[in-house]
Amino acid sequence: MASFDPDRISLPDGHYIHGRLVPGTGALAVSRPSDGKVYAMLPAADAGCVDEAVDSARRAFTHSDWARRPPRERARAMRRWADLIEADIDDLAALESLGSTRPIDQARAWDVPYTAEGIRFFAEFADKCGGEVAATASDHLGMQIAEPLGVVGAIAPWNFPLSMTCWKVAPALAAGNTVVLKPSELTPFSAVRLAALAVEAGIPPGVFNVIQGSGPVAGEALCRHPGVAKVTFTGSTETGRTIMRACAETGPKPVTLELGGKSPQLVFADVPDLDRTAQTLAAAITGNAGQVCVAGSRLLVERPLLAPLVERLQQRFASLEPGLTWHSGTRFSPLISAVQAERVETIVSRAREAGAELLAGGTRFETDRGGCFYRPTILQVETSDNPAVREEIFGPVLTIQAFDDEEEALGLAEHEVYGLAAGVHTADLGRALRAVRRLSAGTVWVNRYGRSHDYILPTGGYKRSGIGRDLGRAAFEANLHHKSVLIDL
């Protein structure tokens, strides 16, 4: 299936608790980003519904065999789940594209297969947490064994609904935990489909539950629930702070927080292929219309390259046309909502008032079909205190600053709040490695930018970009207790 009719998609409309779709009360309007049309009314979980979901996960943890079954069998069920996800690509990709900013071609080529493969990646860890025997005195034996935590509460953002669900849920399940997930109220449906496929794959009912609703009500109740052992969250830094507070006041409970970013791209004058570099830089800020946590949003350019690079970026930006997410061929995404569009406009206008020079974009695309599409935008700024440099915009807005030497570039790259990712573009290996050492960032890409299928590399933030790591072994380990055992001999 390529393009599809957005009015003919059947929605898994409800919470998903203990292996079945549960209709709820309450009603939050859900809109399609491409045309702004309200296409569903979402049930909104209250404290009672959150209780029901956590109770289901708790029962599945203690009474199903999920935590106790041989780990390889747990892994096998997860691999079957991944196979079913791939087989369901038509429906899953359509659900994802209908309600989020992900164009259908990208949902089919990336989001769905990436999610399935991520589940397989974590399944492979299930039987690789054997613990160890410790060096102790000869009159006793000391061991360390790994055990699941219990019920993990997971809260996901709207920008990559399927793959963010995978990052949160797959490591928790592989370690033997059970999960209650709250997807974003803006993109609620593809996660329910994932949960239903998990049951079809033989993962016991109650192991993976989904509740719908708003952050301040359903999300907050989940974080504060006494039956939740840990909370894993991806979203904004501000919400991360609120969640950590809730977990501290009702625990303390451990948290994994994957938060915002304002990632720099350092481009040195010796890059061997400026066209290729421009292509990488453009993709890093226009992909998903810049609504990416690691968007390369702060371009730092060695001065001789400023004019030729800007020219190439202007050309690339001008070639991007907005399209409906359900049309095959669409490459440039809408912004998620009118609220987000107003936020982008406000920051761009404040940036210009503070002296930024507009080199491209700066307005919405005029369309007659609703939806908010913002032109890829370049702002040249002189100083780092400009709002467009300081604040996460979450739109296709690139700031550019020129530098004269390596030291100045590394100084400009440092952000006072964020440290999620960075890019370094140079032909000089020594300079690249010096930058890798100096940059405060959880991920540094050299002469490339963005994630491919590198699940083994952990992702997360320095500074206020987060606590803990998704992906990699670290994400799996963060879902385990390590119990010490001492046996008298």
**Residue 203 or 255 with smaller CB distance to ligand NAD:** 255
**Residue 31 or 234 with smaller CB distance to ligand NAD:** 234
Residue 324 contacts residue 451 (beta carbons within 8 Å): no
**Shortest distance in whole angstroms from residue 157 CB to ligand NAD:** 3
**Residue 28 or 359 with smaller CB distance to ligand NAD:** 28
**Residue 44 or 409 with smaller CB distance to ligand NAD:** 44
Residue 485 contacts residue 275 (beta carbons within 8 Å): no
**Shortest distance in whole angstroms from residue 393 CB to ligand NAD:** 10
Residue 31 contacts residue 39 (beta carbons within 8 Å): yes
**Residue 96 or 258 with smaller CB distance to ligand NAD:** 258
Q: What does the alpha-carbon distance between residue 436 and residue 418 come to, in Å, rounded to a whole number?
A: 16
**Residue 233 or 268 with smaller CB distance to ligand NAD:** 233
Closest residue to ligand NAD in the complex (CB): 215
**What contacts 191, CB < 8 A, 6 or more positions away?**
156, 161, 162, 165, 181, 183, 210
**Residue 177 or 297 with smaller CB distance to ligand NAD:** 297
Q: What does the alpha-carbon distance between residue 489 and residue 487 come to, in Å, rounded to a whole number?
A: 6
Cβ neighbourhood burial of 414 (10 Å; 0-12, 13-18, 19+): middle
**Shortest distance in whole angstroms from residue 158 CB to ligand NAD:** 5
**What contacts 261, CB < 8 A, 6 or more positions away?**
293, 294, 295, 297, 392, 418, 419, 420, 421, 461, 465
How many Cβ atoms from other residues are within 10 Å of residue 46's Cβ?
16
CA-based torsion, 10, 11, 14, 19: positive or negative: positive
**Shortest distance in whole angstroms from residue 418 CB to ligand NAD:** 9
**Residue 98 or 223 with smaller CB distance to ligand NAD:** 223
**Shortest distance in whole angstroms from residue 308 CB to ligand NAD:** 31
**Shortest distance in whole angstroms from residue 116 CB to ligand NAD:** 19
**Shortest distance in whole angstroms from residue 62 CB to ligand NAD:** 26
**Residue 66 or 158 with smaller CB distance to ligand NAD:** 158
Residues of the shown chain interacting with ligand NAD in the complex, contacts defined by CB under 6 A: 155-159, 164, 182, 184-185, 214-216, 219-220, 223, 234-236, 239, 242-243, 258-261, 293, 392, 394, 420, 459, 461, 466
**Shortest distance in whole angstroms from residue 442 CB to ligand NAD:** 8
Residues assigned a catalytic role: 258
**Shortest distance in whole angstroms from residue 243 CB to ligand NAD:** 5
How many Cβ atoms from other residues are within 10 Å of residue 19's Cβ?
19
